[in-house]
Chains A and B, each alone.
Chain A
Amino acid sequence: MNIIVSIKQVPDTNEVKLDQTTGTLIREGVPSIINPDDKAGLEAALRLKDQYGAHVTVLSMGPPQASVALREALAMGADEAILVTDRKFGGADTWATSSTLAAAISKLDYDLIITGRQAIDGDTAQVGPQIAEHLSLPNVSYAEEIWLEGDSIKVKRQYEDRYHIVRVKMPCLVTALSELNEPRYMTPGGIFDAWQKDITEWHRDDLKIDDSNIGLKGSPTRVKKSFTKAVKGKGTVVTMDSQESANWLADRLHDKFIL
Chain B
Amino acid sequence: MWKVVRKMNKEDYKGIFVFAQQVDGKLENVSYELIGKSKALAKDLGCEVTAMLLGHNVEPLCKQLAKYGADRVILADDPALEVYTTEPYAYVITEIIKKYKPEIALYGATAIGRDLAPRISARIHTGLTADCTGLEIEEETKNLLMTRPAFGGNIMATIACADFRPQMATVRPGVMQRQSPNEGAACKVERFSLPDVASHVNVEVLEVIKKVSTKMDIQDATVLVSGGRGMGGPENFGMLEELADALGGTISSSRASVDAGWVEKDRQVGQTGKTVRPNLYIACGISGAIQHLAGMEDSDVIIAINKDPSAPIFEVADYGVVGDALKIVPLLTEQVKKSQAEKKNA
Contact = CB atoms under 8 A, between A and B. Distances in A.
A and B directly contacting (CB within 8 A): yes
A40 interface: no
Contacts of B203: 138, 140, 166-168
Q: How large is the interface on A (under 10, 10 to 19, 20 to 34, 35 or more residues)?
A: 35 or more
A103 B3 CA distance: 12
A127 to B, nearest CB: 8
Contact of B204 (A95, A168, A252): A168
A175 to B, nearest CB: 8
Given A103-B2, A129-B86, A139-B86, A159 B111 contact: yes
B3 to A, nearest CB: 7
Nearest to B306: A237
Contact of A102 (B1, B317, B332): B1
A186 interface: no
A237 B208 contact: no
Interface in A136-159: 138-142, 154, 158-159
A235 B86 contact: no
B344 interface: no
A56 B187 CA distance: 54
A21 interface: no
Interface residues of B, number: 88
A232 B319 CA distance: 12
A226 B156 contact: yes
A257 B332 contact: no
A129 B111 contact: no
B302 interface: yes
With a 10 A CB-CB cut-off, give which of A122, A162, A225, A242 has the most chain B CB atoms: A242
Interface string A110-137: 0000000000111111111110111000
A126 B118 contact: yes
B219 interface: no
B122 interface: yes
B119 A239 contact: no
B111 A142 contact: yes
A16 B151 contact: yes
Contacts of A141: 86, 111, 114-115
B309 interface: yes
Contacts of A130: 118-119, 121-122
A132 B111 CA distance: 17
Contact of A99 (B1, B83, B210, B336): B1
With a 10 A CB-CB cut-off, give which of B5, B133, B203, B323 has the most chain A CB atoms: B203
A54 to B, nearest CB: 21
Interface of B: 1-5, 23, 83, 85-87, 110-112, 114-115, 117-119, 121-123, 125-131, 133, 145, 148-164, 174-175, 202-211, 223, 247, 277, 279-280, 301-303, 305, 309, 314, 316-324, 327-328, 331-332, 334-336, 339-340
6 contacts: A18-B154, A124-B130, A159-B110, A163-B209, A223-B158, A238-B320
Interface of A: 11, 13-14, 16, 18, 25, 93-95, 98-99, 102-103, 120-130, 132-134, 138-142, 154, 158-169, 208-210, 212-213, 218-229, 232, 235-243, 245-250, 252-254, 256-259
